[in-house]
Structure formats: C-alpha cells, structure tokens
C-alpha cells in the first residue's frame, strides 16, 4: 500500500493526516502483510470463533 492509498483510505474514514504522515505510516502498514503458512492451510469452515473452542480444548 503506497502513501497515497493510505491517505485516501484514512480520509474516507474521516481521519485527518498531517502532511507527510502517510509516507511515515506506509512501511509499518506494509510490514503487517506477512505470508502465513498456517493461515493459508486453514479449512474453509474456520472462523474467528474457532479460537475459543480450541482454547477450551487445550487447557
């Protein structure tokens, strides 16, 4: 995601950015887009509520 995209995305949500701030945010935002081998192999039925079921099973 480049700085212009970030600026537009935040503006659409009503978030005001200081000049140059989007450039500063971009590296951190992009660093979160990591390849996840476990996530990629999830069964189609997995959803966020699965976590609590697994937590209960593993205690």
Partner 1 sequence: MSDPAELSLAEARVQLNRGALSPAELEQSCRARIERWQPRINAFVSTSRRNGAAADGPLEGVPLAHKDMFYRAGQVSNCGSKIRKGWVAGETAAVLEHLDAAGALDIGALNMSEFAYGPTGHNDHWGDCCNPWNPAYITGGSSSGSGAAVAARLVFGALGSDTGGSIRLPASACGVTGLKTTWGRVSRHGAMPLSHSLDTIGPLARSAEDCALLLSVIAGHDERDPVTAREPVALNIEQPIRAVAISTGWIEKNAHPEVAKAVLAAAKALKVKLVEVEPPEFDLLSAHCLTVMQAEASAQHANWMRERPRDYSSAVRVRLEAGFAITAAQYLERLRARGAWLERFVSQTLAQADAYLVPTIAVPLPTREQTGPKGGAEMPKLLAEVTRLTRWVNYLGVPSLSVPCGFDSHGLPMGLQLVGRPFSEGILLAAGHAYQRETEWHRRVPALA
Handedness of CA 12, 18, 22, 28 (dihedral sign): negative
Output the smallest distance, CB 19 to partner 1, in A: 13
Regarding 52 and contact with partner 1 (CB under 8 A), the answer is yes
The contact mask relative to partner 1 for 1-40 (x = CB under 8 A, - = no) is: x----x--xx--xxxxx---x--xx--xx-xxxx-x-xx-
Output the smallest distance, CB 4 to partner 1, in A: 12
Written as six digits, the tokens of 48 are 């966020």
Regarding 44 and contact with partner 1 (CB under 8 A), the answer is no
Handedness of CA 12, 13, 19, 24 (dihedral sign): negative
CA–CA separation, 36 vs 6, rounded Å?
23
């Amino acid at each position: 995601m480049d700085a212009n995209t970030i600026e537009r995305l935040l503006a659409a949500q009503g978030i005001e950015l200081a000049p140059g701030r989007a450039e500063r945010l971009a590296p951190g935002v992009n660093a979160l887009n990591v390849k996840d081998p476990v996530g990629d192999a999830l069964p189609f039925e997995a959803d966020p509520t699965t976590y609590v079921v697994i937590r209960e099973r593993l205690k």
